[in-house]
Amino acid sequence: MDGKTVVIVGAGITGVSAAEWMRRDGWAVTLVDPIHPGDPGQTSYGNAGLIARTSVMPVATPSLVRKAPMMALDPDAPLFLRWRYLPRLMPWLIPFLRNATPDRIRTISGALGQMTFDATDQHLALARGTKAEAFICFGDYISLFRSRADYDHDTLGHEIRTRFDLVPEPLTREQLVERDPNLGPDYTFGTLSRDFGWFSSPAGYVQALFDDYHSQGGGFRQARVAGISPGEMPVVTLEDGETLTADKVVLSSGAWSRRFAATMGLNMPLEAERGYHVAMENPSFTAPHPYMVTDSKFVMTPMQGALRAAGVVEFSGVDGPETTAPAQMIAGAVKRVYPGLTFETSKTWMGRRPTTPDSLPALGEAPGAPNVLHAYGGQHVGMTIGPKLGRLVAELAARRTPNIDLTPYRPDRF
C-alpha cells in the first residue's frame, strides 16, 4: 500500500491497533485525537484490563431485561439511569430489548466469539517485541458467586458456554479460600478459567503500543475532528477548519462515533454504556488474579501499584456529568469481597463503553459513504477485541478478504 494515505479518527485501543496494522502494511498513517493515547479521557484508559477471550454473551439477556427496572431504582444495584435521559436512550434501548431473546443470543454469541476467541494471540501479534508486551499478565480468572444456585440459574449462558467449550471449573468455598484467604464470607462458590490474560496497566499498554508505532514513523495529530466527508478521496475536517484528505478514513472514536456516522447518513444507534473504576492504591494486599464479582457486576484486577475494581453501567449520554453513586456502590461492594483490605488512597474514574443494541461492533464501509471504514462498538470487551478490529480494518482497506464472515458487523445493519 506504499504511497497510500489514511487518516484514523480516535486513538484508543481500536484506533492505535488499526494505525499500527496499516503502518505495517505500508500506508502513510495519520492518527488524530484531541488527547494522547493513554489519557484518562479514553475508555481504553480505565477499564478492568481483562483480555476476555471467553466472553461470548451479549449485554442484552432475558434475565437482565427482567431485573433492569428494579435495578435502576435500587442505589445498591450496578445499573444507574439519569431518568431525564430515558427518551434519548430509546433509539438504542428498543432494538437492545429486541435482541434479548434466546434465539438472538445464540446467533450473536457466535459472532462475538469470532471476535474474542483468539484475542490473546491478537494482542501478542501487535505487542510482541515492543514495550507493550511487558504489560500483559497471565494467570487464572475466577468468577465469584454468592451461591452455586446463582450460577446454575443461568441455563442459557451454560448452554452457550458448552457450545463453545468454555465451561469453567467449579470451585467450592474451601477451594476459593485455599487460593485466597482474604476472601469475604459472602462468596461461597466460584468458577475458574485458566490461561487468562490481563493488563497491569491498560493505559500504559495503549501508550506503549502508540509509542512504538510513532517511533516507526506513524503520524499523530493532536486535534479534534469536526466532520468526515466520504468520497473517492474522503476528507476529515478538524475543529480549526483545516482539512486532511486521504485515500481512506477510519472512524474509531469509540462512544463518540455515532455523531459522525449520522452525518454520513447512517443510522447507528450506538450508546455510551458508562462504567466506573475505583483504584485502591498501595493496598495492604492484592488479588492473586482478576475476579468477576457477579452479584455487583464488576471486575477486580491486580494492577501496577493498585487494586482496581471496575464495572457497573450508567446511562446518561456520552457527555453527561460524572456522578458519585456508581463509584460508591463499587467501593461498598469491594468491602464484601475483601473485608480486611486497607489502602493509602483511592481514585475514581468514569469511561464510556461504545455499545450497539446487539453488542456487536460496527466494522467496514457503509453503503453510500465510500472509503470510510467504521471500527467501533467494542462494548464491555473493546479492550479485548481492539487489536482484531484494527487488523480486520487493515485487511479491508487493502481489499484482502478476511478469513471470517463480516456480515454480522455491517455498519448498516440497523
The footprint of ligand FAD (CB under 6 A) covers 9-15, 32-35, 41-44, 47-50, 52, 224-225, 252-254, 256, 275-277, 299, 310-311, 351, 353-354, 376, 378-384, 386
CA distances from 405 to 15, 74, 122, 283, 357 (A): 22, 41, 17, 45, 20
| Nearest distance in Å: CB 32, ligand FAD | 5
| Nearest distance in Å: CB 122, ligand FAD | 12
CA distances from 406 to 99, 111, 183, 252 (A): 19, 9, 43, 17
Is the Cβ of residue 99 or residue 116 nearer to ligand FAD in the bound state?
A: 116
| Nearest distance in Å: CB 255, ligand FAD | 6
Rounded Cα distance between 277 and 46, Å, is 7
Rounded Cα distance between 370 and 69, Å, is 41
CA nearest to 399, candidates 261, 220, 247? 247
Is the Cβ of residue 185 or residue 192 nearer to ligand FAD in the bound state?
A: 192
| Nearest distance in Å: CB 224, ligand FAD | 5
| Nearest distance in Å: CB 414, ligand FAD | 18
Are the C-beta atoms of 38 and 203 separated by less than 8 Å?
yes
| Nearest distance in Å: CB 23, ligand FAD | 17
Rounded Cα distance between 56 and 10, Å, is 26
Are the C-beta atoms of 368 and 374 separated by less than 8 Å?
no
Residue that the C-alpha cell 440497523 belongs to? 414
Is the Cβ of residue 45 or residue 343 nearer to ligand FAD in the bound state?
A: 45
Between vectors from CA 32 to CA 26 and to CA 34, what angle results, nearest 5°? Answer: 160
Those residues with Cβ within 8 angstroms of residue 345's Cβ, 6 or more apart along the chain or in another chain: 281, 282
Cell of 162: 458448552
| Nearest distance in Å: CB 178, ligand FAD | 26
Q: Which residue is nearest to ligand FAD (CB)?
A: 382
For 109-126, letters b (16+ CB in 10 Å) and e give bebbbbbbbbbbebbbeb
| Nearest distance in Å: CB 97, ligand FAD | 21
Rounded Cα distance between 333 and 324, Å, is 15
CA distances from 205 to 38, 173, 222, 399 (A): 8, 34, 19, 29
Is the Cβ of residue 174 or residue 319 nearer to ligand FAD in the bound state?
A: 319
CA nearest to 292, candidates 304, 281, 302, 301? 301
Rounded Cα distance between 72 and 81, Å, is 6
CA nearest to 13, candidates 254, 301, 226? 254
Is the Cβ of residue 4 or residue 224 nearer to ligand FAD in the bound state?
A: 224
Is the Cβ of residue 188 or residue 200 nearer to ligand FAD in the bound state?
A: 200
| Nearest distance in Å: CB 298, ligand FAD | 8
Is the Cβ of residue 8 or residue 160 nearer to ligand FAD in the bound state?
A: 8
| Nearest distance in Å: CB 42, ligand FAD | 4
Are the C-beta atoms of 337 and 344 separated by less than 8 Å?
no
Is the Cβ of residue 48 or residue 176 nearer to ligand FAD in the bound state?
A: 48
Is the Cβ of residue 66 or residue 223 nearer to ligand FAD in the bound state?
A: 223
Is the Cβ of residue 51 or residue 62 nearer to ligand FAD in the bound state?
A: 51
